[in-house]
Amino acid sequence: MTLDRFRPIADRALGPFVDASERLGLTPDRISVIAFGFAVAAGSALFAAGEAGAPGIWFLAASFFVFCNGWLDLVDGALARSLGTDSKGGDLLDHVLDRYADVIIITGLAAGASAYALGLLAVTGVLLTSYLGTQIQAVGLGREYGGLLGRADRLALVGVVGVVAFLLPGPLVAGLSAVELLLVLFAVVGHFTALQRFWGAWSDLT
């Protein structure tokens, strides 16, 4: 989870956005819903890129929407802490919307590239990684966040790949496009991380 190292820097940059949210009367839950809306927009743009037969502006739009989703995902937590309203309910809502956002964005990637098998492997890897994190907590070992790619890393990669796909729409390596290569990465790393978490928890429990 490389980008998590920069969380203190991001927290300082969040100040103006938190202040603006307070002035507008936005709640953390509302920001979570708005962030989810950007994820839906990103998935729709990625799908449209494939339906159009040429990426065009759609991949760039998707990159922007993914950035907005990731940034607002930080703002809602910072706002909750600032207002003193962070709660288990808000945390539940945030995590549920994040998982749906993951599914929508990865499905959009797969649809845009017509790579549905890779999309299935990628989305199951991402979801199983998240599931193992919460299941390990459920058996009393604490929440597990370890892994090679955290959500912030995944969103950053989607944003970068959207730009690359716009600039270089054809095959890049082994006949695979930038989007297909990203799906392969998510599939491999996701399932590897899920199995890694399982083995670590299993070793602690037995």
* CATH code assigned at 179: 1.20.120.1760
The radius of gyration of the chain from alpha carbons, rounded to an integer in Å, stands at 18
In this model, does residue 86 exceed pLDDT 80? no
Residue with the larger pLDDT of the pair 48 and 25: 25
Mean pLDDT of the chain: 86
* pLDDT for res 10: 66
Q: Alpha helices of the chain — where are they, by DSSP H? A: 7-13, 15-24, 28-51, 58-83, 88-113, 116-138, 151-167, 178-205
Q: Are 183 and 113 in contact (CB under 8 A)?
A: yes
Residue with the larger pLDDT of the pair 146 and 99: 99
Rounded to an integer, what distance in angstroms lies between the CA atom of residue 30 and that of residue 16?
A: 18
In this model, does residue 15 exceed pLDDT 70? yes
Q: Which of 115, 117, 116, 114 is nearest to 50 (CA)?
A: 114
pLDDT category at 169 given cuts 50, 70, 90 is confident
* pLDDT for res 54: 56
Cβ burial of 123 (10 Å; 0-12, 13-18, 19+) is buried
Collect all residues with Cβ–Cβ distance below 8 Å to 68 and sequence separation of at least 6.
35, 38
In this model, does residue 117 exceed pLDDT 80? yes
Rounded to an integer, what distance in angstroms lies between the CA atom of residue 2 and that of residue 9?
A: 13
pLDDT category at 192 given cuts 50, 70, 90 is very high
Give bridge partners of residue 176 from the DSSP assignment. 173
Please state, for a pLDDT cut of 90, what percent of the chain lies above it.
37
Residue with the larger pLDDT of the pair 181 and 141: 181
In this model, does residue 53 exceed pLDDT 70? no
The number of folded domains in the chain is 1
* End-to-end CA gap in the chain: 27
* pLDDT for res 17: 86
* pLDDT for res 170: 82
Lowest-confidence range among 45-59, 113-127, 134-148?
Answer: 45-59
In this model, does residue 49 exceed pLDDT 80? no
In this model, does residue 78 exceed pLDDT 60? yes
Domain extent at residue 14: 2-205
